Amino acid sequence: MYDPSIGQTSLTTIDVIGVLFGHILFGVAATLLIDWSWIPLSAQQKDSGRSLKDIKRSWGWDEKEDHQDESQSS
């Protein structure tokens, strides 16, 4: 992309791809690492699909929290 203030191209395709890749990587990381359970869902939304907590549990990410929940309930 041409930048008239310096009289040459300053933004290359590699720069654009790097920024897009960084945004996608951040989005995936934010989805998986941040606890989103504070957002209220309607009953219809809960029934429409698996929750993020269920997905993390199936991947084995929340094993520590599951053990704590079981010990507190017994």
What are the residues facing 2 on neighbouring strands? 9
Better-predicted residue by pLDDT, 43 or 70: 43
pTM, full prediction: 0.49
Closest-CA residue to 52 (of 62, 63, 44, 65): 62
What would the pLDDT profile of 46-56 be if each residue is shown by its tens digit? 788 777 778 77
Closest-CA residue to 15 (of 29, 3, 27, 31): 3
Q: Are 62 and 53 in contact (CB under 8 A)?
A: yes
Q: How far apart are CA 55 and CA 38, in angstroms?
A: 17
Q: How far apart are CA 64 and CA 49, in angstroms?
A: 24
